[in-house]
Structure 1
């Protein structure tokens, strides 16, 4: 027999095919040794499966360290800036178009992003478009005003995120001022504009002064003169009834409510945010719609405290008045004018919850001296109102002759509200002189409900129900019994007292103290803001009766 020729397998070592993964259900213990023929004989030779090393294969580097790669992929923004030359402080009204290193300070009254969110994501700097700066990722169009004029700032950015809000105090350094009066680069109300790109051009800078803003600079609106009314200022009612046609019309409103932030997607697939802010004045209410980046401004506003002066707003008059911001709208946050202070006080008086039965003020009045004095003054309500408005910081005593037109003993008795007080900020009502608090469970001493007395009248005016506060001594003299005896009386006795006191003329020994003019003197009558709206628990702006003469 001729010798056998070697097989092809003998020239190659067995190896595991690359790119083929081992089935998950097979393990090393299930591998079977393979058999093949030897090159010299026909006897089978056993081949064991090759073993593979688990050590990773080293890859050659690209020449860059990890720190160098991180510096490019995640760069550190250097926000420190030091001017390389002198800049002249200039008011906006004194700006002159042309090259000159100046810096101005003002407040943001309007801003929006040019090109929208879509252009911001595409990198609008690399490419075409009028006035587009290379390398910029987006651009803010910011309207800044001081107390004399306004200007437009085109703020380009690449990596820095500017957290802009309406009313912020900002400072801009720029080497050039442009005149955009005949173009579209600035608004008509702010013709001068400056284009700054702080990340690329180190000769310009834009700084938001959040930490150094004390709320004093640039708070006076444009066109305001002390002692004169603000030009084109109107109420919400006048604005909705045709005042929106007035050129550069203004409305002064206070924030009433701030809605939740909503997100919308338009037909182009771009997402935008929306916040509806409820505003009001003493004549009506409206809704202020904030779109896009301006919606974040509402997060720092306070209801019943933040006052907005809106010039030339956008509007939509339907069942409700809706106002919005346009490119020519100015929004002054908390302007420094008397009308804004009055509207803020008006809003706070509306939201202030009065104490149901404020305690008697100790140490304010000296009634014993007033009663024993040989000079005793009889006032009427008209005199009281005149004295309170003429000298809001003074306190005085006197007598008032009044007629009780209504008394509510039976009504409050049926409602279990003859006595009242407060504890833990919760009103307590009962027909007993002592009742436990619903929160702390402490026994609380109650006093007679001031609403026992209805309107009191004289020849010149009237008071509202519950706006005249009597001492325990005065209640005992008026009802003929103490509060403990009153709550233990039968229904027949209570009904008799109510009939007996109605339309009875009595004389009150009263005291008046108006220590805070804003709380004590208002535009209303005696029972409203005239003498009945003081702070809870204090003898301020109230009519206190110490004694009653039948």
Structure 2
């Protein structure tokens, strides 16, 4: 027996050179499907604008962003091997194209706003499917051409889902119909309040520009037939959309947009919705749903969208983000027991914060507590507070088993509700307690007990403590963390929001992450009677 015999390492049948060549082709911006079914090389003409697409038998390549999305399941008479299809409306600033993408096993991971590159050899002017029914991909008045594609089975068809990076983030962001200098202004735009008060009725091409404020947990609704028998169930999620005039609830039925919602969570994503449908639901509750002719532009590039993004960020800052934690190590320790601690009036703090918003300082303020609401919040089961997935959560006593967020299913960490106290004032001004960021040490110094022990007082104990604290003057150790410099543009907005969510840990900044969280807020670090 020859002991020097070596056994080859199992592989996939491809040589190293073949693998490297394939990777290089996919990395190239000029990649195209190499050959047709008969082995002949195809030539794909690059079309810069969707408005230039014409029906016919011609190999073309174009790009666009998904404006409408619908997933269908079932066997197709046209494509025998397909298990279903994803019908999308793809668009840029020039026009839209309806595409029906068949899949063999699972749907493609496409989201609203995804940037797609399409290679196809045939475009049609008819929106009819193999059954004779229209392809549900958006408004027929805006879709100029259509395509049926089965990537993987038809060698002449290919779709590439482009990654979002610095180079592709601004591609195909200008909404259709934008006018003015640089095509950055929108015609026919109405406020959310105007749309709810009748703008939805009989106005062709009505548009609203909104921000995603919060996304509710999925709920299961049972479906019944006319006889009351249960025939199945469907998932529904409610998304709150806001602008500077009001808010509306967008009800999303089914699971087609779940991946899109996850990417929007907590970012204040701006949506330009064209021809939304006004719906009156149960008990006269009004809301918004997507109709057959509705399409959505995600993070459009226009002046109105940039203004709304700035408004949303200011709104979030004013809301206070009460669930933030304040570590004392971000401030100088000598500010508490130092030889010359600074004593500020509220007017001094206001002047300093306005003149030097990027500076960090600590000191004392001596204020009187005017309002205390311990008993009221205890009876409402709202002593403890936290915020997760842009949704507030309340409880009186954090249980031994941590409560889970119904959206992300992560354990919740509670702190005392800043609404326990009302106005704090001195000789120069006043401030609301809910606008401050309270450290755990400050709560313990003020209440004389740990935060988790407050609920043990009961109604009588809360009433006694409330009477003792109302009208009391105390010296609070406070600190101001300078605001971060803002970055302009879509990429800057997204990076800043991402830093805010992750605590500034994009570049491993250490203590700088706490400045990302509490920047532009007055923090209460402790108290002396």
Place the TM-score, normalised by the shorter chain, in its bin.
0.5 to 0.7
Q: Write the mapping of 1:52-63 to structure 2, written as runs, cut at 5 A.
A: none
Q: Does 1:193 align with 2:133?
A: no
How much has 1:191 moved relative to structure 2? Answer: 3.9
How much has 1:256 moved relative to structure 2? Answer: 1.9
How much has 1:296 moved relative to structure 2? Answer: 2.0
How much has 1:301 moved relative to structure 2? Answer: 2.2
* Superposition TM-score, scaled by structure 2 size: 0.55
Aligned residues: 408
Does the 8 Å contact 1:248/1:312 carry over to 2? Answer: yes
Q: Which has the higher contact order (CA 8 A, sep 6+)?
A: 2
Q: Of residues 275, 297, 301 in structure 1, which corresponds to 2:261?
A: 301
Does the 8 Å contact 1:90/1:104 carry over to 2? Answer: yes
Q: Which string of whole-angstrom CA distances, capped at 9 and with x for unpartnered residues, describes residues 227-263 of structure 1?
A: 9775555554432222314443333252522333766
Residue 461 of structure 1 is matched in structure 2 by 430
Residue 354 of structure 1 is matched in structure 2 by 323
CA distance in structure 2 between the partners assigned to 1:508 and 1:461 by the alignment: 14
How much has 1:342 moved relative to structure 2? Answer: 6.1
Q: Write the mapping of 1:270-309 to structure 2, written as runs, cut at 5 A.
A: 275-282=235-242, 283-290=246-253, 295-302=255-262, 304-305=265-266, 307=269, 308-309=271-272
CA distance in structure 2 between the partners assigned to 1:340 and 1:197 by the alignment: 37
Q: Does 1:544 align with 2:524?
A: yes
Residue 313 of structure 1 is matched in structure 2 by 276
How much has 1:330 moved relative to structure 2? Answer: 0.9
CA distance in structure 2 between the partners assigned to 1:260 and 1:227 by the alignment: 43
The alignment's C-alpha RMSD in Å is: 6.1
Does the 8 Å contact 2:481/2:515 carry over to 1? Answer: no
Q: Does 1:82 align with 2:62?
A: no
* SS of 1:97 mapped into structure 2: coil
Residue 15 of structure 1 is matched in structure 2 by none
Q: Does 1:239 align with 2:171?
A: no
Residue 528 of structure 1 is matched in structure 2 by none
Does the 8 Å contact 1:112/1:140 carry over to 2? Answer: yes
Residue 77 of structure 2 is matched in structure 1 by 123
Q: Which string of whole-angstrom CA distances, capped at 9 and with x for unpartnered residues, describes residues 424-465 of structure 1?
A: xx99999xxxxx99469xxxxxx9998886520244432126
CA distance in structure 1 between the partners assigned to 2:194 and 2:119 by the alignment: 41
* Superposition TM-score, scaled by structure 1 size: 0.53
Going from structure 1 to structure 2, the CA distance change for 1:206 and 1:343 (only over 3 Å counts) comes to: farther
Runs of at least 5 residues in structure 2 that lack an aligned partner in the other structure: 1-31, 36-40, 128-133, 387-392, 403-414, 455-461, 486-495, 501-512
Residue 411 of structure 2 is matched in structure 1 by none
* SS of 2:278 mapped into structure 1: strand
Residue 107 of structure 1 is matched in structure 2 by 65
* SS of 2:332 mapped into structure 1: coil
Q: Write the mapping of 1:148-227 to structure 2, written as runs, cut at 5 A.
A: 148-155=93-100, 163=108, 165-175=111-121, 187-198=139-150, 204-209=156-161, 212-214=163-165, 216=169, 217-222=171-176, 223=178
Q: Which string of whole-angstrom CA distances, capped at 9 and with x for unpartnered residues, describes residues 114-171 of structure 1?
A: xx87xx6572689xxxxxxxx999886531013x233223437596875355333322
Q: Of residues 207, 212, 215 in structure 2, which corresponds to 1:256?
A: 215
Structure label with greater radius of gyration: 1
- Stretch moving more, 98-107 or 201-210: 201-210
CA distance in structure 1 between the partners assigned to 2:139 and 2:395 by the alignment: 59
